[in-house]
Amino acid sequence: MALDEFDLIRRYFTRATPAAVLGVGDDAALVAPSAGRQLAISADMLLEGRHFFADTDPYALGWKALAVNLSDMAAMGAQPRWFTLCIALPKADPAWLAPFSEGLFALADQYGVALIGGDTTAGPLNIAIQIIGEVEAGLALRRDGAQAGDDIWLSGPTGAAAMAVRHRYGRLQLADADLAYCAARLDRPQPRVTLGRRLLGLASAAIDISDGLVADLAHIARRSGLAATLNLLDLPQPALSDEVLALPDFDVCLLAGGDDYELCFTAAPAQRAAVQALASELKLPLCRVGSMAAGQGVQVLDAVGQPLALAQTGFNHFA
Ligand code: ADP
Ligand code: MG
């Protein structure tokens, strides 16, 4: 029997929600924000052919569609609470829907975030999630809070996800172990939600790296009215073979490859010990990679302190 729109929603996108919430099934969801907190609202769309390959594993797609949204909550220091899912599907195929919804809810359960509604329509595959979180009023991590003299930190290595994209496009050939690492970074990013929450009151600004390290850091620099300097040798490197790390493509991915979903944040030098303590507590390889100063733009210094000429800084849909 064919699956109609309402069966599909009931079967794959309806889960019990917390008692205080009216979730899927009415004309609108009802939620109550906590006292003293602001709502943080963000949306991200994934389109076949643009954000993912047509043959992408549906479990990975469900995971990633939510992960990229959770990453925005992380970058604001917000606690994710609720999300909606608007999905266009070429056909109502249980063999696709079951793993997609499993991947989606695996991550939703990990962060205690509830699917409270959405919209479902036939059409070319398109997945749009809107997420709503909460953050202590006035304490959100914004892009415009960096101060001259602040350190720049990264929550983990960049570049591997973009290397997986290059492999899938046939632009380079990764050996199995390198490919497994890069594909996991691309398909199953771990949003840094816990870190984001713990950076409230500690970091001065934050952004998640979706478009490329240099391009995303440039947003902090511009919004804060400052210049950012990165030291190439201080950037953490992914756990890849020496041959891959030596490829010219790798440096481009490290600095400008998107899809990493690590956090880049700034903090006063007085917070170094606190950030390092957080790194051990959360078991995250937080790395100090540069600093903010008067001026504008982002520069990357090489091993001898000379600025690199950057051909490409990140991904831009319309560039
Ligand atoms: P309406 O006709 O009022 O727009 P719909 O028939 O589109 O309502 O949706 C019925 C219910 O199912 C609503 O509560 C809506 O939020 C929910 N819903 C629809 N699609 C999805 C989806 N993909 N994921 C979660 N909830 C959904
Ligand atoms: Mg509707």
pLDDT at residue 248 greater than cutoff 80:
yes
pLDDT of residue 50: 86
8 A C-beta contact, residue 269 and residue 261 = no
Both structure tokens of 284: 């995250």
Ligand 1, residue 27: give the atom nearest the CA.
Answer: 3
Return the sign of the alpha-carbon dihedral for residues 46, 52, 55, 61. Answer: negative
Q: Per the annotation, does 242 bind a ligand?
A: no
Phi, psi of 37 (to 5 degrees): -115, 150
Which of 190, 184, 189 lies closest to 167 in space, CA to CA? 184
Residue 313: band (very low, low, confident or very high) from pLDDT cuts 50, 70, 90: low
Residue 315: band (very low, low, confident or very high) from pLDDT cuts 50, 70, 90: low
pLDDT of residue 91: 93
Closest-lying ligand to the alpha carbon of 24? Answer: 1
Q: Report CA(123)–ligand 2 centroid distance (Å).
A: 15
pLDDT at residue 142 greater than cutoff 80:
yes
For ligand 1, atom 22: residue with the closest CA: 118
For ligand 1, atom 1: residue with the closest CA: 27
Closest-lying ligand to the alpha carbon of 114? Answer: 1
In whole angstroms, what is the distance from residue 6 CA to residue 64 CA?
A: 24
pLDDT of residue 317: 59
pLDDT at residue 238 greater than cutoff 80:
yes
Residue 1: band (very low, low, confident or very high) from pLDDT cuts 50, 70, 90: low
In whole angstroms, what is the distance from residue 286 CA to residue 83 CA?
A: 29
pLDDT at residue 129 greater than cutoff 60:
yes
189-214 average pLDDT score: 97
Alpha-helix runs per DSSP H in the chain: 5-13, 58-76, 94-111, 160-168, 176-187, 193-198, 213-224, 242-245, 248-256, 272-282
For ligand 1, atom 7: residue with the closest CA: 119
Ligand 1, residue 87: give the atom nearest the CA.
Answer: 23
pLDDT at residue 32 greater than cutoff 90:
yes
pLDDT of residue 72: 98
Count helices and strands in the chain by DSSP H and E runs? 10, 10
Q: Report CA(211)–ligand 1 centroid distance (Å).
A: 31
User: pTM of this prediction?
Assistant: 0.94
pLDDT of residue 51: 87
pLDDT of residue 318: 54
Q: Report CA(95)–ligand 1 centroid distance (Å).
A: 21
Mean pLDDT for the chain overall: 94
pLDDT of residue 319: 52
Please classify residue 222 by burial: count the beta carbons closer than 10 Å to its beta carbon, then call 0-12 exposed, 13-18 middle and 19+ buried: middle
In whole angstroms, what is the distance from residue 23 CA to residue 147 CA?
A: 42
130-138 average pLDDT score: 98
For ligand 1, atom 27: residue with the closest CA: 118
pLDDT at residue 240 greater than cutoff 60:
yes
Each residue of 145-186: pLDDT tens digit? 999 999 999 999 999 999 999 999 999 999 999 999 999 999
Q: Report CA(154)–ligand 2 centroid distance (Å).
A: 40
pLDDT of residue 20: 78
Please classify residue 191 by burial: count the beta carbons closer than 10 Å to its beta carbon, then call 0-12 exposed, 13-18 middle and 19+ buried: buried
Bridge-based pairing of strands 126-136 and 37-47 is antiparallel
Q: Could you give the domains of the chain?
A: 5-136 (3.30.1330.10), 151-301 (3.90.650.10)
276-301 average pLDDT score: 97
Q: Per the annotation, does 72 bind a ligand?
A: yes
Ligand 1 site-directed mutation target among 24, 125, 130, most atoms within 8 Å of CB: 24
Beta-bridge mates of residue 41: 132
Pocket-forming residues, ligand 1, beta carbon under 6 Å: 9, 13, 24-27, 85, 87, 115, 117-120
Each residue of 33-75: pLDDT tens digit? 999 999 999 999 999 988 888 888 999 999 999 999 999 999 9
Each residue of 74-95: pLDDT tens digit? 999 999 999 999 999 999 999 9
